Amino acid sequence: MARAQVEAQPAATGGGLVVMVGLGVAFLLFMAFLNVVKSGNLLNDSNLLYAALIFYCGAGVLYVAFGVTGIPSYIRFASLATWGGLLANTGAVAHRWYEAGHPPFATIYEMLLSFVWTLAVLTLIAEKKYGVKIIGTVTMPVAIVGVVLMQLLRTEVHPLVPALQSTWLHVHVTLAMLAYAACALSFALAMMFLIKDNIKTETFLGATSLFSIATYLGVLTRFEKWGGLNVVAWDPGRKAEVFLSKGVRLYVVIPDLGWMMLLVLATVTVPFVLYLAWRKTNDEGLINLANRAVFVGILLQVLALVFFILRARDAQYASLDVDGLNATSLAASPFILSGLIGGIFVSLLYLLLLWRREDLERMLPSAEELDRITYRTIAIAFPLLTLMIAAGAYWANRTWGSYWSWDPKETWAAITWLVYAGYLHMRITRGWRGRRAAYFAILGFAVVMFTFFGVTYLLPGLHAYA
């Protein structure tokens, strides 16, 4: 559908790119179709997901192109492509649901599926209802990363262990995905507010390099003696992580990858150090140097990602805890993978800002409007967070006999709730608007990310399934 219209209007302003993206989408869909015809299995969730990926990629390119050039026809086709992706994504969710017999929230693969779906819906809502057209520039790449991650992760349906067979679990996870997607949106809006509010580009440099540093520090918690990197072992037969005992995963060591990560950490630290030096001396040369360092950093990060994928994918390594070789798989390390991809993505966003700031600013609604919409998305996210925690507590009460056990995930969910509660109090009773409120919204989302990824990855607890 979208394809036909793309080709029908080549004369529109900036039509060249639209036609190219349209043809690309058509070509990839056609190739996929040939494959499908060969296998004879048209409608399964991986095919649909592949279609969604193609549409989202098309949308992503057009959104970014809109962000850079501001040609209005791009946004129209970007929306159409998003609709196409959403349709395929919905099909994938429905198929998965039908095949598994339960709503798709049980495994990390299924949760990503639902998260990407929610993100696409919210993007369209933000665009149509609130007129934040540029939002897709941020959310579509996130959706693409999500779908790519899903392609790498396990796809087959796992039966649910007894503790997970509860409607309340589905309610809990649905609410969590909705709330987290709303938080993600409020974060993107707060960032746009800061761009519109004339925050110095250099400050963004400091923030993005700090993010990369934090990511690689997180990855390096898995650093092993003599430069290895610990990853979770994977049982290819059962398609599951290997556990030594309850809650204790078996780690295998990929040799030398730790050094690689250490090198990248050193590289991404350089722009931050230069930024700090610039703040002291105000020497513009330092910032130019830092920007060049960011560029080198991106190249090294891509290299680290490639090495990680090559070495962690379906290989066998020794472990410190048991004798013999154990297999590993990308599916066993979803958090390292998303950390690496996230780091690259954030650095690229910084480059976009560095080179095209004026164009970006032209595209955005007014600062006041962005501030208001940020507040409104948090007004949606906060009740959802509340209900999410309540549904989780109710489920825990039915399953473990206690509605609150101070498990790390629970505690961090409560902390997230408190941070947003703080935001609301400051905004309502203290009249916090603008920059301070935006910083608070960003802090809130950082805590959400830690709750979602960091707690599962770094802290032990009951939420081990997800």
Partner 1 sequence: MARCVLFLLAKGEIMAASVPRKIWQTLGAIKTGVVLLILVVILSAAGTVILQRPATDPDEMQRSYSPQMLRVLDAMKLTDVFHAWWFVLLLLLVSLSIIAASIQRFPNSWRYYARPYKSPDDNFRKALGTHAAILIPGEDVGFAVADDVLRKNGFKAEHIVRADSVSLFGERHRISEMAVYIVHASLLLIFMGGIVDALYGWSGFLMLTTGETANSFEQRNGKLRVLPFAIRCDGAGQENYTDGTPKKWWSKLAAIEDGREVVRKEIVVNDPLVYRGVRFYQANYGDTGKMATLTLNANPTSGSGESKEIVLGLEGPTQIDADTSVRVAEFIPDYVVGDGRVYARSNQPVNPAVHLVVTSKKSGKDVNVWLPPIPGFEENEAAPYQFENPRLEMAHFTGLQVSHEPGQWAVWGGVILMGLGLAVVFYLVHIRLWAVPVRDAQGQLVLWIGGAANKNKDAFEQRFRKIVEEIEAEVKARREAGAPVPADVLAAN
Go through 329-358 and write b for each residue having 16 or more CB atoms within 10 A of its CB, e for each that does not: bbbbbbbbbbbbbbbbbbbbbbebbbebee
**Residue that has been written with the tokens 């003599």 in this structure:** 226
Q: Establish if 465 lies at the interface with partner 1 (CB under 8 A).
A: no
- First vs last C-alpha separation in the chain: 37
- Contact criterion met (CB below 8 Å) for 144 and 81: no
Name the segment binding partner 1 (CB under 8 A); options: 79-87, 261-269, 353-361, 391-399: 391-399
d(CA 450, CA 116): 18
- Contact criterion met (CB below 8 Å) for 185 and 138: no
Tell me the β-bridge partners of 243: 249
Nearer to partner 1, 89 or 155 (CB): 155
User: Which residues, 76 to 135, sit near partner 1 by CB under 8 A?
Assistant: none
Residue type, 319: S
Spell out where 116-264 has E strands: 223-224, 228-232, 234-235, 240-241, 243-245, 248-249, 251-254
Residue from 414, 446, 449, 464 touching partner 1 (CB under 8 A): that is: 414
Total residues at interface with partner 1 (CB under 8 A): 44
Smallest distance, partner 1 to C-beta of residue 420, A: 11
Contact letters for partner 1, residues 336-375 (x by CB under 8 A): ------------------------------------x---
Name the segment binding partner 1 (CB under 8 A); options: 57-65, 81-89, 172-180, 379-387: 379-387
Nearest Cα to Cα of residue 315 among 229, 233, 222: 233
User: Which residues, 132 to 161, sit near partner 1 by CB under 8 A?
Assistant: 159-161
Tell me the β-bridge partners of 252: 231
Residue from 214, 415, 449, 466 touching partner 1 (CB under 8 A): that is: 415
Take residue 194 and report the two structure tokens written for it: 């800061």
Smallest distance, partner 1 to C-beta of residue 429, A: 6
Q: Establish if 226 lies at the interface with partner 1 (CB under 8 A).
A: no
Smallest distance, partner 1 to C-beta of residue 259, A: 27
d(CA 125, CA 266): 41
Nearer to partner 1, 380 or 466 (CB): 380
- Contact criterion met (CB below 8 Å) for 287 and 275: yes
Residue from 108, 301, 455, 456 touching partner 1 (CB under 8 A): that is: 455
User: Which residues, 162 to 201, sit near partner 1 by CB under 8 A?
Assistant: 162-163, 165-166, 168
Name the segment binding partner 1 (CB under 8 A); options: 73-81, 129-137, 316-324, 395-403: 395-403
Helices vs. strands in the chain: H and E counts, helices first: 15, 9
Smallest distance, partner 1 to C-beta of residue 224, A: 18
Tell me the β-bridge partners of 230: 253
Around Cβ 226, how many Cβ atoms within 10 Å? 9
Nearer to partner 1, 69 or 166 (CB): 166
Residue from 43, 200, 404, 436 touching partner 1 (CB under 8 A): that is: 404
Residue from 393, 437, 442, 448 touching partner 1 (CB under 8 A): that is: 393
Take residue 438 and report the two structure tokens written for it: 């935006």
Question: Residue 103 phi/psi, 5° resolution?
Answer: -60, 145
Question: Residue 283 phi/psi, 5° resolution?
Answer: -90, 115
Nearer to partner 1, 138 or 176 (CB): 176
Smallest distance, partner 1 to C-beta of residue 209, A: 24
Q: Phi-psi region for residue 431, left (φ > 0), alpha (ψ -120 to 50) or beta?
A: left
Nearer to partner 1, 284 or 368 (CB): 368
User: Which residues, 277 to 296, sit near partner 1 by CB under 8 A?
Assistant: none
Q: Establish if 400 lies at the interface with partner 1 (CB under 8 A).
A: yes
Contact letters for partner 1, residues 423-452 (x by CB under 8 A): --xx--xx----------------------
Smallest distance, partner 1 to C-beta of residue 174, A: 15
Nearer to partner 1, 313 or 430 (CB): 430
How far lies 432's CA from each of 11, 13, 190, 191, 425, in Å? 47, 42, 14, 17, 9
DSSP 12: S
Residue from 39, 324, 406, 431 touching partner 1 (CB under 8 A): that is: 406
Residue from 43, 200, 402, 436 touching partner 1 (CB under 8 A): that is: 402
How far lies 282's CA from each of 195, 288, 289, 290, 443, in Å? 21, 12, 13, 13, 27
- The residues binding partner 1 (CB under 8 A) are 159-163, 165-166, 168, 372, 379-380, 382-383, 386-387, 390, 393-395, 397-404, 406-408, 411-412, 414-415, 418-419, 421-422, 425-426, 429-430, 455, 459
